[in-house]
Amino acid sequence: MNKILRFFDLHQGEEKKEAVLENVVSNISFRGANAWILACAIVVTSVGLNVNSTAVIIGAMLISPLMGPIVGAGFALGTFDFPLLKKSLKNLLIATLISLVVSFIYFLLSPFKEAQSELLARTSPNIYDVMIAIFGGLVGVIAITRVDKGNPIPGVAILQQP
């Protein structure tokens, strides 16, 4: 039984709590380069939605810096760090406003006006989407607390994006 418990022990490879907090806090801010990267990712996503390309949408999710404030808010809630939660939500609001403005301008100027299946598929969530969010978030929590972050982080970024 001890072998089985050691096999699933999450304390092996665990990063120091201070390092995890520093990593989370450093990725929350939406200034300068992060704002520009988000704006470009939103344009790429919008083009992908217009041309009905799943690959382009996934690529845009990989370059999007939105995971920073999302992870920050979740981390703050989990640790009852309300100043961090306030900072995370403020930056998430900034990111949302940037996203809305850029996508509004793109779709205002875009010659494509008909909604494609990729866009319509994201308008009716179901229980499977909730399960994906919960278990994808759990993988993200485990991954960011490891010294060796590994491959899960890009996958979690894709799963957690709307």
* Domains of the chain by residue range: 16-120
Model pLDDT for residues 66-112, shown as the tens digit of each residue: 888 888 888 888 889 899 999 999 999 999 999 999 999 998 998 87
**Which pLDDT value is given to residue 152?**
61
Question: Is-above-0.85 flag for pTM?
Answer: no
Residue type, 29: S
Measure Cα distances from 128 to 114, 124, 138 in Å.
27, 11, 15
Mean pLDDT of the chain: 81
Strand runs labelled E in 1-141: none
**Which pLDDT value is given to residue 75?**
84
**Which pLDDT value is given to residue 14?**
65
Averaged over 133-145, what is the pLDDT?
A: 77
